[in-house]
Structure 1
Amino acid sequence: MTSSEQFASLARDHIRAIEDWPEPGVTFRDITPLLADPAGLAGTVDALAGIAATWGPIDKVVGIEARGFVLAPPVAMRLGAGFVPVRKAGKLPAAVESRTYDLEYGSATVEIHRDAIVTGERVLVLDDVLATGGTLSAARDLVTGLGGRVVGQLVLVELAPLGGRARLGTQTPTAALVTY
């Protein structure tokens, strides 16, 4: 078994399914047990950074609120990159750019500081879950709107039946460590 297969097995053993949360009909994939396990946390960061490194040098890692915040800083440190938060509307104190998008169970707005990305910077967009693709797409649009070049989109978990990868298109590499 390869190290990526071993990690996928460890991750599947630790990621729990919570039915009907946050609303009826939705199965939430809870990554907190994986991150609470020292080997799980280390393996997650190593695996994410390993994939990102194949996309060339990265200047900034954009982490999407909230669980993307947990993953992005240690991945950025491993890559020698900076960390930039993409937050829910109204949470950032300086001038922002905003995007509204649809979720599998509603809609949301995310924001980024206007000065967070310098034109031409190579950016990795990182989140915990790829579901419908709305959050990653909105974050990618924010980065490119500021002049950044998104070199990859990376998630811990992909929920394939929700079609998010198709929504993201093929122009930017997209990877997931575990797919359900």
Structure 2
Amino acid sequence: MAAEEEDCRLKMIKSRIRDFPDFPKKGILFRDICPILKDPGALSAVTSLFEEHVRGQFQHVDFVVGLDARGFLFGPLLAQRLGVGFVLVRKKGKLPGATVSVAYDLEYGKAEAEIQEDAVSPGHKVILIDDLLATGGTLYAACALMHQRQVEVLSCLVVVELKDLNGADRLKPHPVYSLLQY
């Protein structure tokens, strides 16, 4: 019965993903998660599936770390369910106070990701979360930030994984858990 329930939730979530061909540029098929956010049942299904995965895989989590900006949508909900704090990984220049950052490559250029210096401490165990895994650049940068702070990355969670772009390979040895794969 549990597998059937999970399958039903995944089908509901998948039915809420919209495809936009040639966005943001020609040749890209954009997977839009916004309809999930409009549907309380679909949003709850995403959060529940992530929670069940984390509880089933890890005995202890200190923080859920969300990536700018869509990781901010799912991360706090998961953190609340798990009874842990939420930490933000932002684009450079968006956080007040002392920060640490790492530069990384994007498909279309370079960027920097940062966290507040006191957001995590050595030895903490974290789950990273974002909406989509493509080439893995942003999640890779977040992993690098966590390693810089001597924090253990337990897993990377995403709603959608674009398998052809091999982002999960870039994140090894960190496991990736994706609800939907395209």
TM-score normalized by the length of structure 1: 0.95
What are structure 1's unaligned runs of at least 5 residues? Answer: none
Aligned to 2:118: 115
Secondary structure of 1:2's partner? helix
Aligned to 1:127: 130
**Structure-2 change in CA distance of 1:173 and 1:56 (3 Å):** farther
Q: How many residues align?
A: 179
Give 2:75's aligned amino acid: A
Whether 2:69 is the aligned partner of 1:49: answer no
- Offset at 1:80? 1.1
Secondary structure of 1:83's partner? strand
Is contact 1:110–1:138 with CA below 8 Å preserved after alignment? yes
Aligned to 2:9: 7
Q: Which whole-Å deviations, capped at 9, do the CAs of 1:144-167 have from their partners, x for residues lacking one?
A: 211211111111110011110111
- Of 82, 93, 98 in structure 1, the residue corresponding to residue 96 of structure 2 is 93
**Structure-2 change in CA distance of 1:3 and 1:108 (3 Å):** farther
Aligned to 2:62: 59
CA distance in 2 between counterparts of 1:119 and 1:80 reads 20
Aligned to 2:38: 36
Aligned-residue CA RMSD (Å): 1.2
Secondary structure of 1:57's partner? coil
Give 1:39's aligned amino acid: G
CA distance in 2 between counterparts of 1:25 and 1:166 reads 23
Aligned to 1:168: 171
Q: Which whole-Å deviations, capped at 9, do the CAs of 1:2-28 have from their partners, x for residues lacking one?
A: 222112211111100111222222221
Aligned to 2:81: 78
Q: Which whole-Å deviations, capped at 9, do the CAs of 1:117-171 have from their partners, x for residues lacking one?
A: 01111100111001001111110110121121111111111001111011111x2
CA distance in 2 between counterparts of 1:67 and 1:140 reads 17
- Offset at 1:50? 1.2
Secondary structure of 2:142's partner? helix
Q: Which whole-Å deviations, capped at 9, do the CAs of 1:52-83 have from their partners, x for residues lacking one?
A: 22222110110001110000001001111100
Q: Which whole-Å deviations, capped at 9, do the CAs of 1:32-61 have from their partners, x for residues lacking one?
A: 101211110110111111112222211011
CA distance in 1 between counterparts of 2:168 and 2:5 reads 24
